[in-house]
Amino acid sequence: MTNTPVILTCELTKSYGSLAAVQELNLSVGPHRITAFLGQNGAGKSTTIKMLLGMVRPSCGEGTVLGKRITNAQENRDMRRKVAYVAENKPLYGYMTVEQTIRFASSFYSDWRTDVARRLLNEYKLPPQRKVKALSKGMRTKLALLLAFARRPELLILDEPSEGLDPVGIEHLLQMLVAQASEGVAIFFSSHQIAEVERVADHVCILDNGHLLVDASLDQLRQSYRRIDLVFASAPPEREFRIIGVEKIQTKGHQMSVFASKNAEAVIQRARDLDAVSVEVAPVGLRDIFLETVKEN
């Protein structure tokens, strides 16, 4: 197993006039893992993905996908053969039927798996003869996913793949992601479904205002983020807790709540040294990590 990143960017930047959509992004996405790409609407996720695929030209900086430079047209074509991509708006030809769309897509890819396409058509309950323009949003998403999952790519990039899907559809999507990952496919996907991300992802990147704020494994986040609720006999000594790893302190009367991205032990130790009446430590879920990180920025 090599550990060469499947996606690597160096100071990747995209500006639209005075608006910087993505700023000096240094991203390194490892192989053999599921990486989730989180951020609010307009954080720069889709712009980043489009730059990676060569669909949007970076203003400056550079990057490679599967070792191919994103700004080189020839290398870009080579790369696209090994990357399956599901776009955010699921662009499909409205005048084609489901069956025609699948046949059309299959003719482009040498890694196409007819058996998988047929199985998914069944599982997704897509009507083969219906025109794409007459599909519901959820069915459209399923068709776009089918076109990606029927291939055997080295890297799978999905932009908001769960949009429009009901809970059953989302569960099926996650199982497909796990199955693909089991076959050695690296997965990079953006999502707003934090609860789902928290289950399947190995690694999380949080983008806000074009900046990368968090780039860590979920195991690491689970083990290091803590909320420590303290009660003191007198006014809480807030200043004493401004140490490395403490991201936020809230005080209300005799109560103090500390949000720490690491170093929770030091906070607890300090609380005991300062005679806190009560010390309660709680883990922090990905939703709170995301919300706090984005708010602080």
Q: Which residues of the chain form contacts with other proteins (CB under 8 A)?
A: 32-34, 171, 174-175, 178-179, 181-182, 195, 198-202, 218-219, 222-223, 225-226, 264-265, 268, 279-286
Q: Residue 183 Cβ, how far from other proteins at the closest point, in Å?
A: 8
- Smallest distance, Å, CB 280 to other proteins? 5
Q: How far is the CB of 47 from other proteins (least distance, A)?
A: 27
Cβ distance to other proteins smaller for residue 238 or 280: 280
Question: Please, what is the minimum distance in Å from the beta carbon of residue 106 to other proteins?
Answer: 25
- 38 phi/psi in degrees, rounded to 5: -110, 155
Residue closer to other proteins by CB (options 78, 219) is: 219
Residues 210, 201: Cα–Cα separation, whole Å: 22
Closer CB to other proteins, 74 or 182, in the complex: 182
Q: Which is nearer to other proteins, 11 or 123 (CB)?
A: 123
Smallest distance, other proteins to C-beta of residue 88, A = 23
Nearer to other proteins (CB atom), residue 198 or residue 208: 198
